[in-house]
Structure formats: C-alpha cells, structure tokens
C-alpha cells in the first residue's frame, strides 16, 4: 500500500495489489472521515492502523462512494462504533449484489478468504450529505454514471474532490449509464478544485483537472459515435476489436494497462445495447 498527502489533513492510500484503487481519509483532532476501503482486508487494516497511529482524532465515519467490492470489501475491518455511511442506492446495491460479488472475488483471491459483507446502515437520499467534523465540511453528493449509486466527496476547506470512480483514467460505465456519466463529469467542472483523487490511479493536480475531465467527456462521446457507426454498417466483433482505446482519445498506459480491459468492456457493452442484446444480472469487473 502506498500513501501520500494531498493537503495537510487529507491522506490518500493506494493499493499495490489491485488496479491502483484509492481510499482517502480526512483527519482532524475531533475525528477522522475515511472515504472507501481498499480492495483487500490486509491493506485496509494497514490503513486503519496508520490513521490510528497519527495521534489525532479517532475514526468516526466510513463513507462508501459506491457498492463495488474494490471499494467496500474492507468495511468489516472497521470497529463497530464507527458509523458506515452511503447513499441509499449503494445500500440497496450491496444488499442485492454484494454477497454474490464477494463470493466470486474470493474464488480468484485467497486474500479475501476472511472478508465478510458489511452494509452501511446510515444512508442519505438524493441531494447531498454534509459531514461536519472538526474544522472540515465534507459534501457527499450523488454523481451517477460509473454506477447508478456513484457519489463523490468534496472537502470544502481544502478544495479537494475525493471522486472515487466518477473520475478514472478512462471512464468505465458497464455497471452504469454513459449519459449520466457525461452529466456528472460536466457537474464536476463547477467545483473549485485544487486536486482530484481518482478512484484508481494518480492524484490530479489543479492544472491537470480541466483537460482530464474534458478528455473523459470527449472519450464517452467519441466511443458512442464509433460503436454506433460499427453497428449501423453491420460490422461485427472484428471491428470492435480494432476500436482501441487510443482511437477514442485515451492512453493505453495507465493502471499498468488495465485501462485497455476497461475500454474493451465499454465497447462491448455499447455494442450489446445498440444491437438489442441482454446482459446477465451480475457481471464482475475486469481483473
């Protein structure tokens, strides 16, 4: 696990074990707010131990930004006295899919053998939740697209957006909605931002943010047009395989190349949609 500070009071923890997943913590003497867990319990426990070692306030809240296991598998590692918070949609999705997703993930990783599903019981509905802890105000707002329940957390005083998977090196919408994704990315352009913590990968600094968001919006628009053109011309899977990520304006390098798998999943999801094919009820993420 790698850790860094994006401001005096905000720490970012990045998994060394899966897809550079990030979790964050806003630290004050009156309490700590953790945003998401890391994919595997051992890394989540290491994060918790580090935060406790700082000698600041205790952990008061854990916020899940969306239901995917790489951001929630570590929920059970937190003390029962810590309040687990999420949007109502996240609670519903964890209750519906969380157990089957965890069981599938266990089959491919012995590191999840001890993991247990823990679903937050403090929920908020549409609009935003504001957590006031010490001198910090943290706005948690629904930003669907990556998933229907995706949220972001904005630390007002630091102008830092803990964006989770709403901001990634390549937008991934197989579990969500690309139109909602574009709207959410456009909404982020209204924030006053010093940095963005992506759900996977490197922290974006102020000078990088406008172009990164614009690039993701453009990717979603270009991808839709190219896949629709393939379908309209009656071309098949061979044409999809040739539609590489760089042809849609994104680099194939981030996340050690995993972005190419995410892109490929996006392509096939759009193709199924445009050709009227149906999807199974549960789909795991690329690994």
Q: How many CB atoms lie within 10 A of CB 82?
A: 18
Residue 126 backbone zone (phi > 0: left; psi -120 to 50: alpha; other: beta) = beta
pLDDT in tens, 26-80: 999 999 999 999 999 999 999 999 999 999 999 999 999 999 999 999 999 999 9
The three-point CA angle 212-215-219 to 5° equals 140
Q: Which band of pLDDT confidence, cut at 50, 70 and 90, is reported for residue 280?
A: very low
Q: Whole-structure pTM over 0.85, yes or no?
A: yes
pLDDT in tens, 100-116: 999 999 999 999 999 99
Please state, for a pLDDT cut of 90, what percent of the chain lies above it: 94
Q: What is the mean pLDDT of residues 113-132?
A: 94
pLDDT recorded at residue 284: 53
pLDDT recorded at residue 237: 87
Q: What is the mean pLDDT of residues 235-243?
A: 93
Rounded distance between C-alpha atoms, residue 64 and residue 35, angstroms: 6
pLDDT recorded at residue 282: 43
- Tokens linked to 68: 């995917």
**pLDDT beyond 60 at 287:** no
Q: Which band of pLDDT confidence, cut at 50, 70 and 90, is reported for residue 126?
A: confident
SS (H, E, C) the chain: CEEEEEECCEEEEECCCCCCEEEEEEEECCEEEEECCCCCHHHHHHHHHHHHHCCCCCEEEEECCCCCHHHHCCHHHCCCCCEEEEEHHHHHHHHHHHHHHHHHHHHHCHHHCCCCCCCCCEEECCCEEEEEECCEEEEEEECCCCECCCEEEEECCCCEEEEECCCCCCCCCCECCHHHHHHHHHHHCCCCCCEEEECECCCEEHHHHHHHHHHHHHHHHHHHHHHHHHHHCCCCHHHHHHCCHHHHCCCCCCHHHHHHHHHHHHHHHHHHHHCCCCCCCCCCCCC
Instruction: Point out the least confidently predicted range of 85-89, 92-96, 125-129.
Output: 125-129
Please state, for a pLDDT cut of 70, what percent of the chain lies above it: 97
Instruction: Point out the least confidently predicted range of 18-27, 108-117, 277-286.
Output: 277-286
pLDDT, averaged across the chain: 95
pLDDT recorded at residue 281: 43
């Amino acid at each position: 696990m790698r850790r860094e500070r994006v401001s005096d009071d905000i720490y970012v923890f990045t998994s060394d074990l899966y897809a550079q997943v990030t979790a964050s913590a806003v630290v004050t003497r009156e309490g700590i707010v953790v945003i998401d867990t890391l994919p595997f319990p051992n890394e989540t426990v290491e994060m918790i131990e580090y935060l406790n070692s700082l000698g600041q306030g205790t952990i008061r809240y854990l916020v899940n930004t969306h239901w995917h296991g790489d951001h929630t598998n570590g929920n059970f590692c937190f003390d029962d006295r810590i309040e687990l918070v999420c949007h109502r949609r996240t609670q519903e999705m964890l209750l519906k899919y969380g157990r089957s997703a965890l069981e599938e993930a266990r089959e491919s990783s012995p590191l999840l053998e001890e993991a247990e599903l823990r679903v937050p019981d403090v929920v908020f509905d549409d609009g935003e939740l504001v957590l006031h802890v010490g001198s910090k105000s943290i706005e948690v707002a629904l930003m669907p697209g990556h998933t229907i329940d995706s949220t972001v957390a904005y630390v007002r005083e630091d102008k830092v957006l803990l964006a989770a998977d709403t901001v990634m090196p390549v937008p991934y919408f197989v579990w969500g909605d690309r139109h909602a994704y574009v709207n959410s990315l456009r909404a982020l352009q209204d924030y006053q931002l010093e940095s963005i913590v992506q759900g996977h990968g490197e922290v974006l600094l102020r000078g990088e943010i406008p172009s990164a968001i614009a690039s993701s919006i453009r990717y979603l628009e270009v991808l839709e047009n190219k896949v629709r053109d393939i379908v309209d011309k009656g071309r098949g899977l061979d044409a999809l395989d040739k539609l590489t990520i760089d042809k849609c304006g994104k680099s194939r390098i981030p996340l050690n190349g995993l972005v190419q798998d995410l892109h490929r999943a996006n392509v096939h999801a759009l193709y199924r949609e445009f050709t009227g094919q149906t999807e199974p009820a549960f789909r795991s993420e690329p690994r």
